[in-house]
A and B are shown apart, each in its own frame.
Chain A
Amino acid sequence: MNTAIRAPALADRVKDAALAAFVAFALLAPILGMETVVGPDGRLTLAFHFDLVALGVAIVFIGRLLFGGLVAGRLAVRREGGPISRFLSRYSTVLGAAGLAFAVALPFLPFSSRYVIDVATTVVIYVMLGWGLNIVVGLAGLLDLGYVAFYAVGAYSYALFAQWFGLGFWTCLPIAGLLAAIAGILLGFPVLRLRGDYLAIVTLGFGEIIRLVLINWHEVTGGPNGIADIPRPSFFGFPFTRNPGEGEIAFHQLFGLEFSTMHRVIFLYYLALGLALITNLFVLRIRKLPIGRAWEALREDEIACKALGINPTNTKLTAFALGAMFGGFAGSFFATRQGFISPESFTFIESAIILAIVVLGGMGSQIGVVLAAAVIVLLPEIARELETYRMLFFGAAMVLIMIWRPRGLLAHREPTIRLARRGGAA
């Protein structure tokens, strides 16, 4: 990186760019340039894509020539949030209110359709998962790579309790949250004493264990086939059916409406929105309580926390359990929305997506999570072919953001309490 000290001569830059291009060629030629294809006789053959390799090498060469030395050198300096980040945090209340108003009005806006509401519901679930995981990663600074396990615990708890005991959604919701929290505590208790990076890999392992158990424990979980016919939610006891059972009143009858399948879709959307809002309020509130401050303090310096009498294990455990609880809530919502769940929905990549939402949004930032979730869900919706490239983009984005703005794109942090306006912040 000593090229940054003086402007290097053009010849040097060309040489440097040529070197980078050569490296790019060596990297791309085998993997990108030669695609292994299973031929008709079952043997592998190669399909060559050297046009793509040439394109990649050209991009690297030109990019390196123009911006060489800049990437690692200059970008890394900008650690604090930029003007956009400051703008967003200054007007966070206004933006939040506007966003909320939009979210509430969405089903009744002119462009709204079943498809739009469905996608919006997915966005809202991811927002909720992001906010839940943000407690663990953003506030407490614990890297949880198996968050989807708690999502799965919530989903399967709801499905199984509904199937076996005939319990309704509203009874199962708290049970699912509780079970997920217990799962969080059971996992967290032994491992939270470990160093941060060990914790990450243990949670990753735990996520896989849960998934493997779901696949292999046929008697209970239905194995890879999953559980079907999960009861759909009712409007507080009034089902969304055209012909309600005996002694039941359907939702449309209750309000004297024409039956429409849209009712349930809209209801599910509001349900998700409600759950997400509860999560948000909870997080905003708890940040200003001693436990929330202790989480942030732990993230900053665990040893100093110990010296102030904070029990690190218990404090982390609470973060873990509460994060898991919201994962569980989201999971049981997921189950009732889909009506069908299988282990396939709970792979590592799902954990990675949720983590990407938290990281890209700015750890600890509420609005950032909303924006990141919207981008992550909408991107493949806008162009289906982007679906596979989505994770490529997120992987790269996670690396770049860590280099460029390690605290996330929106990382301006407001203190939880201010001396200037005494008690006003509480």
Chain B
Amino acid sequence: MAYFLQQLINGIALGMVYGLIAIGYSMVYGIIGMINFAHGEIYMIGAFVSIIFFTLLGMLGISWAPLALVLVLLAAIVITSLYGWTVERIAYRPLRGSFRLAPLISAIGMSIFLQTYVQVTQGAKIKPLQPVITGGITFTDASGFTVTISWIQVLIVVLTVALMAGFTWIIAKTPLGRAQRACAQDLKMAALCGVDVDRTISLTFVIGAALAAVAGLMATLYYGVIDFFIGFLAGVKAFTAAVLGGIGSIPGAMLGGLVLGLVEAFWSGYFSIEYKDVAAFTILVIVLIFLPTGILGQPEVEKV
């Protein structure tokens, strides 16, 4: 039972990270109907900016964890968002209305470019981070098993829930959210009604990147090591989460992330750790085949 609980906790924390990345996929898909393949790399850049700023702050002598954390969070969000914005501006905006495969190929090119860019500038070696937050809450059950909720896991859950709440408010109540929902319905019509479509799409990428930056920071804290390649797997898994939850649906992305995180935690806990990535891909294939609209997605009627 304790073991089960431990896996449950690990799964939830992991799932929240996936969910944060998945929202970026889902939003972009909802608004312009493309898969932003470079989104995984944006997450990776978020992780790198975090680790770079932790190191920088360490060198500057700022070692009080809460302050360092807030500063790094801000830096990661600002710089990663700027990356998200630039990617859209350079690689996707000129291709709106181009032929079907063009944005996809451009996105893959962007993904390769960003990955190699970090590899070249930061080196291919893995980067270890000195633990910033340590410890946690430990419970011991009757049979002597212990369950640990680390402070990092607590932070992940709290921060994710807070972000989700703020984010839901933005979508539901603000003019930006309204513009976004309008664009998701019909880009052309939204433009005709005076919505600044370019700006709305840009902001969508910025928000997606900001959430990915938070996810990157969390993953850096959680795992303690990163390298330039982490964006690939995380990207595919988060995409799986987005599809599982119903692509285009934001609560769906979070839900999908949680399901995927739990499946992965229990899979590695009870079956084999080697095949945990295979599990994620298998879920993706199964979902796409049997439940292509996901759990919370809207059925898509083919427009003839």
Q: Within 8 Å by CB, do A and B touch in the complex?
A: yes
Of A9-17, A99-107, A327-335, A394-402, the stretch lying at the interface with chain B is A394-402
Q: In the bound complex, how far is the Cα of B37 from the Cα of A205, in angstroms?
A: 13
- Decide if B236 touches A208 in the complex (CB within 8 Å): yes
B104-143 residues with Cβ-Cβ distance < 8 A to A are 104-106, 108-123, 125, 127-130
**A403 & B95 in contact (Cβ 8 Å cutoff):** yes
Smallest beta-carbon distance B272→chain A, Å = 8
Residue of B whose beta carbon sits closest to that of A34: B52
Among candidates B48, B101, B106, B129, residue contacting A141 with C-beta atoms closer than 8 Å:
B101
Interface 9-mer from B53-61, B189-197, B250-258 = B53-61
- Could you tell me if A403 and B106 are in contact, using CB atoms closer than 8 angstroms? yes
Query: Inside 8 A of A398's CB, which chain B residues have their CB?
Result: 105-106, 108-109, 112
Is A54 close to B, CB under 8 A? Answer: no
Q: For the complex formed, measure the closest distance between the CB of A194 and the CB atoms of chain B, giving whole angstroms.
A: 6
Contact of B105 among A202, A359, A396 (CB under 8 A): A359
Taken residue by residue from 19 to 44, chain A's Cβ proximity to chain B (1 for < 8 Å, 0 otherwise) reads as 00001001100111011111000111
Question: Within 8 Å CB of A76, what residues of B?
Answer: 94
Contact A35 B98 (CB under 8 A): no
A65 within 8 Å of B (CB atoms) = no
- Tell me the B29-69 residues at the A interface (CB within 8 Å): 34-35, 37, 45, 48-49, 51-56, 58-59
Q: A43-B130, A194-B292, A198-B243 are in contact. Are A395 and B113 (CB under 8 A)?
A: yes
User: Is A277 located at the chain interface by the 8 A CB criterion?
Assistant: no
A36 touches B55 (CB 8 A): yes
Q: Is the CB of B52 within 8 A of A399?
A: no
Nearest opposing residue in chain A for B55, CB measure: A44
Q: Would you give the shortest CB distance from A16 to chain B, in whole angstroms?
A: 13
A395 to B106, CA, bound (A): 8
Shortest distance between the CB of B61 and any CB in chain A (Å): 13
A208 in contact with B277 given A36-B127, A348-B232 (CB within 8 Å)? yes
Which residues of B, 70-121, contact A by the 8 Å Cβ criterion? 75, 78-79, 82-83, 86, 90-91, 93-95, 98-106, 108-121
- Which residues on A sit within 8 Å (CB–CB) of B114? 395
Residues of B within 8 Å of A348, CB to CB, are: 232
Inter-chain contact B79/A36, CB cutoff 8 Å: no
Would A44 and B117 be within 8 Å (CB), given that A141-B100, A145-B108 are in contact? no
Grouping DSSP codes into helix (H, G, I), strand (E, B) and loop, the B interface class, with mixed when no group exceeds half, is helix
- A352 contacts B by Cβ under 8 Å: yes
Q: Chain A contacts of B37 at CB under 8 A?
A: 200-201
Residue of B nearest to A395 (CB): B113
A34 contacts B284, CB within 8 Å? no
Residue of A nearest to B282 (CB): A209
Segment at the B interface, from A80-88, A150-158, A225-233, A385-393: A385-393
Question: B56 near A34 (CB under 8 angstroms)?
Answer: yes
- Please tell me if B271 contacts chain A, counting CB pairs below 8 Å: no
Whole-angstrom CA separation of A213 from B99 in the bound complex: 35
Contact B116 A392 (CB under 8 A): yes
Q: With a CB–CB cut-off of 8 A, which chain A residues contact B82?
A: 23, 26-27
Q: Does B165 contact A (CB under 8 A)?
A: no
Nearest CB to that of A408 among chain B residues? Answer: B105
Q: Give per-residue flags for A347-367: 1 if the beta carbon is below 8 A from chain B beta carbons, else 0.
A: 011001001100100010000
The residues of A that contact B285 with a CB separation of less than 8 Å are 190-191, 202, 205-206
Which among B45, B120, B288 has the greatest number of chain A C-beta atoms within 10 A? Answer: B288
B121 nearest CB neighbor, chain A only? A32
Please give me the 7 A-B residue pairs with the lowest Cβ-Cβ distance, nearest first: A398-B109, A395-B113, A395-B112, A205-B281, A402-B106, A392-B116, A391-B116
Please report B residues at the A interface, Cβ cutoff 8 Å: 34-35, 37, 45, 48-49, 51-56, 58-59, 75, 78-79, 82-83, 86, 90-91, 93-95, 98-106, 108-123, 125, 127-130, 232, 236, 239-240, 243, 272, 274-275, 277-278, 281-282, 284-285, 288-289, 292, 302, 304
- 19 A-B contacts (beta carbon < 8 Å): A31-B45, A31-B48, A36-B127, A38-B127, A44-B54, A76-B94, A190-B285, A194-B292, A200-B37, A200-B104, A205-B284, A212-B275, A212-B277, A388-B119, A389-B116, A395-B112, A397-B109, A402-B95, A402-B102
Name 16 extra pairs, CB < 8 A, besides A212-B277, A407-B99: A27-B82, A27-B86, A31-B45, A44-B54, A44-B58, A143-B101, A190-B289, A209-B282, A213-B278, A359-B109, A392-B113, A395-B115, A398-B106, A398-B112, A399-B110, A399-B113
